[in-house]
Structure 1
Amino acid sequence: MLAGLKKDIPKMGARGRERTYSERVTSAVTGGDLEELKILLDKPGVDHINALGHAALHEAACWGNLKAIDFILRLKGDINVKSSGGCTPLALAVDHNQEEAVNLLLSRGASPDESDAKGVTPLMKAAEAGAAGIVASLVTHNAALEKKDGEGRTALMAAAQKGQAMIVGALAGRGAALTVTDNEGNTVMHYAVTCQENDVMLQFLAEKDRGLLNRPNKVGETPAIVAVKRSQPENLQTLLNLGADPAIPDNSGKNAVDHGRTLKRAKFRTAMKEVMENEGEAARQHMRRGTEEKISVRKPLRLKKTASFTS
């Protein structure tokens, strides 16, 4: 019995005291107790990384405490201090959707392009989350549109992957390149087809650059093939309506139709078969004839820029 109780008693020592210190810093930040915060930061230093992997400025940014952020910066805290995971206070403010904190940090000189350990920038995080106001602030402060993460993704690709159509439209409107590829040769269109029922974005991208419809990645996969492999029949339908060619083979010699036959889940296999029967042949004939005959499609929806993105 005593042995069992011993296991429940937390071990103290340096690490145990550090956890207590971390909790006290968080409490001071969230409670707005700036006097306590100054005392806590005096000995280890304002940029001390605690057991949670954060400096005090990270905590203030996460909680969106503007007074604490200002106070720490007046104590000469590093505005771009990195957490144990390589995140800046700005990145964590973005992660927690603290728009006012983001704006304050940017106004005080925070770098919008500092990336974390995986190469992800604040703009990529905001684009993925669909945080239009934060994206606008970052772009206004000259965040790099074409900077890539460890996988070669740009903010535009990150937004497309999550189905953030308005963000894609806004970034494209500010000049984000549509033809940039990631480490595997995927374009923004390849990312867009992986998000369920993403027809508005697909139409927008095709309208901007029709070459994206059939552009292959490094293994020869077109967006149509990716749509099939990711079991996205609605997106495949949209691609075919827009003029994508399902007969283009990848590097293994298989086209979208061939990949459709190998789908393991019956409902997706059936859906793909219906799409191919209804639209695939018409699309193939249209592409092969090389005419300008248009396939019947719904009128493409145009994405409006948000007011905050106007130059």
Structure 2
Amino acid sequence: MSAVPDPGMASSWSLLGSSPTTQLSFGSSMDVTKLEQARMLLSGMDYSRATGQDEDGDTMLHIYTAKGLRECAFAAAERLRDEGKLDAKEHKGKTALLVAVTANQPEIVRDLLSLGTDINACDVKGQTALHLAAHYGLPGVLQAILSSRPAVNLEACNFEGMTPLHCAAISHSVTMKALSSSGLTDVGLQTKAAEKLSCVQMLLTAGAFLLSQEIKSNTTVLHLAVKEGNIDLVTYLLRIPLPNIKDFVNLKAHGHTALHMAAGLHGNPHQEEILQLLLRRGADPSIRNLENDQPAHLLQSGLQGEQVSSTLFLTATVSVLVMGY
């Protein structure tokens, strides 16, 4: 992003001090004096500066949004809406809405949606506002998107074939891995992990399809969580009440079930627990992958592998006797 095109604007802004606020139609308070000042400054600008794009494709709206200048952004959005340019894209394909998401500006997200921005616009990587909010783990922004009136596409796929739910699961695993490396003592990472898990929960509550499979490898969020040994996410996903839980647990990704993936978690401290959780929720240990291997064939060799194999057999037996799997 380049600097604010009008140097006088920032200084004028700081001189406004405290001003009255009002409740606008989209439901959140805004400083009316600052908004009117922004409208005045924009109306006094050269037309090309107020409505055009710079060498990076940024409009005034992109710049104000990135800086979190809400009233400025609103005034610029009104101007661009009137010109039919509200969804203008900068050089990475981001509309102002996508910039508002990555800048973690939920109020500006709401403002832009109230003015009619395209909620499903995507950047050069095919990422929508939902993908970005899920990737960065921004529950406030995610809530702003999900609670808006326009119909948001929960199952939109980016150019990697992933839905926002997949992005949220992957992002949570990345943070959990970092947290594990830090010795589970980093408060900032703990907070971020909780925020990212809440994004997964919010997407599912909004209606995201739990059984959705990523296009390139057919992985579900369960495969993604198991593959990374993410015990927190695996536990959460397997607690979701589903009438077709066995179908979910036994879905294949390139021939591998989640149980195959768990069997391949050699040396992971959560391997045995994940195996047990899967079996208790209906994972079928007799399913073979494309190499004709059952999950037990993928366990580590040696004493540890034998111990895990014994646990696997016992848990599977109990599941059959008690639950009829």
Does the TM-score normalized on the shorter chain lie above 0.5?
A: yes
The answer to whether the aligner puts 1:161 opposite 2:166 as a matched pair is no
Tell me which amino acid in the other structure corresponds to 1:215: L
Count of equivalent residues: 264
Deviations 1:257-276 (A, max 9, x none): 333338xxxxxx98766543
Name the CA distance, whole Å, in 2 between partners of 1:235 and 1:40.
Answer: 61
Which of 100, 104, 119 is 2:107 aligned to? 100
The answer to whether the aligner puts 1:254 opposite 2:293 as a matched pair is yes
Name the CA distance, whole Å, in 1 between partners of 2:9 and 2:275.
Answer: 50
Give 1:215 shift: 0.9
Which of 125, 135, 143 is 2:142 aligned to? 135
Change (3 A) 1:76 1:115: closer
- Structure-to-structure mapping, 1:101-116, within 5 angstroms: 101-116=108-123
Which deviates further from its counterpart, 32-41 or 203-212?
A: 32-41
The answer to whether the aligner puts 1:146 opposite 2:155 as a matched pair is yes
Tell me which amino acid in the other structure corresponds to 2:5: V
2:235 aligns with 200
Give 1:209 shift: 3.9
- Structure-to-structure mapping, 1:49-60, within 5 angstroms: 49-51=54-56, 53-60=57-64
1:214 aligns with 250
| CA-based RMSD | 3.3
Name the CA distance, whole Å, in 1 between partners of 2:58 and 2:226.
Answer: 37
Deviations 1:158-206 (A, max 9, x none): 2222334333333223322222222122223222324522243232346
- Structure-to-structure mapping, 1:25-104, within 5 angstroms: 25=5, 42-43=47-48, 46-51=51-56, 53-76=57-80, 78-104=85-111
Tell me which amino acid in the other structure corresponds to 1:240: L
Q: In 2, are the aligned partners of 1:202 and 1:239 still within 8 Å (CA)?
A: no
Give 1:38 shift: 6.7
Name the CA distance, whole Å, in 2 between partners of 1:96 and 1:187.
Answer: 29
2:323 aligns with 293
Tell me which amino acid in the other structure corresponds to 1:176: A
Name the CA distance, whole Å, in 1 between partners of 2:281 and 2:322.
Answer: 12
Point out where structure 2 has 5 or more consecutive residues left out of the alignment.
14-37, 173-195
Name the CA distance, whole Å, in 2 between partners of 1:208 and 1:191.
Answer: 22
Give TM-score, length-normalised by structure 1.
0.71
Change (3 A) 1:166 1:56: same
Give 1:146 shift: 1.4
Give 1:94 shift: 0.9
Give 1:82 shift: 0.9
Point out where structure 1 has 5 or more consecutive residues left out of the alignment.
1-18, 263-268, 296-311
Name the CA distance, whole Å, in 2 between partners of 1:275 and 1:87.
Answer: 48
Deviations 1:212-246 (A, max 9, x none): 111112x2111122334466525344323433234
2:281 aligns with 242
Name the CA distance, whole Å, in 2 between partners of 1:31 and 1:157.
Answer: 43
2:33 aligns with none
Tell me which amino acid in the other structure corresponds to 1:25: P
Deviations 1:35-55 (A, max 9, x none): 77777764456231334x532
Name the CA distance, whole Å, in 1 between partners of 2:146 and 2:65.
Answer: 19
Q: In 2, are the aligned partners of 1:29 and 1:65 still within 8 Å (CA)?
A: no
Name the CA distance, whole Å, in 1 between partners of 2:127 and 2:260.
Answer: 27
Give TM-score, length-normalised by structure 2.
0.68
